[in-house]
Amino acid sequence: MKRKGILFIISSPSGTGKTTIANFLVTQDENIQRSVSFTTRQPRGNERYGMDYYFVDTDEFHKLLAEGKMLEHARVLQNYYGTSKEYIENTLEAGVDVLCCIDWQGADQVRQKVSSVSIFLLPPSLEELRRRLMSRGTDTKEVIEYRLKEALEEVKHFSKYDYVIINDDLQETKQKALAIIRAEREKLKENQVQIEKFVATLIS
């Protein structure tokens, strides 16, 4: 029986490290790919089209949405974000795991459509989150205050996730996330072995 891929979701308040963790995971494992989201926001720094995001305008985003090409979507800070339905389905069908960095709204939508394993990253404190957001140097003071306010709302949804990691030590968080990926694969492998044995007894 061919193994289908596993869809992994990583969510966190902005500045908590989900992008850093996701980039680490895909460099450690050749059988996991990071889903590249569509967004209407402008690129930051060295972000590249097709590598970090698919940067589109609002009209193009709404066209994709109307055509049913989004697995999930959300609006954050006046910008839209969305995940390609076709990419997720085709990659999982090919037996490759997919990693999605999406917020809790998107995660809620995905759970209704696709089986997934979800991880939520928590900041060690609001003060540390503020420091991280300020150190990025990409947002105004007003935007940072908005993100902190949103963070308080986002952490209320942590209980919906399969795993929760407090990201107070980046290296430790990386290893915990990698351990989760490997453990979930082993669970799937064990389940498939049991199913194959059961089917064999039925047809023997």
Share in percent of the chain as helix, strand, coil (round to 5):
50, 20, 30
Strand partners, 33: 98
Residue 18 marked as a ligand binder: yes
The domains found in the chain, sorted by start residue, are: 7-34+96-203 (3.40.50.300)
Is 61 buried (19+), middle (13-18) or exposed (0-12) by CB count in 10 A?
Answer: buried
Residue 135 marked as a ligand binder: no
Residue 43 marked as a ligand binder: no
The Cα–Cα gap between 137 and 19 comes to: 16
Residue 15 marked as a ligand binder: yes
Strand partners, 22: none
Closest CA to 55 of 43, 73, 66, 72: 43
pTM: 0.84
Instruction: Using 50 as the pLDDT threshold, list the residues of the chain that sit under it.
Output: none
Distances (CA, A) of 150 to 101, 103, 146, 174: 17, 11, 6, 24
Residue 9 has what pLDDT? 97
The gap from C-alpha 179 to its chain's centroid, in whole angstroms, comes to: 16
Residue 13 marked as a ligand binder: yes
Distances (CA, A) of 68 to 58, 71, 85, 115: 16, 8, 8, 19
Residue 3 has what pLDDT? 76
Helix (H, G, I), strand (E, B) or coil at 88: helix
Residue 106 marked as a ligand binder: no
Provide the token pair at 27: 């460099």
Instruction: Give 7's contacts (C-beta < 8 A, 6+ positions apart).
Output: 88, 92, 97, 98, 100, 110, 114, 115, 116, 117
Residue 204 has what pLDDT? 67
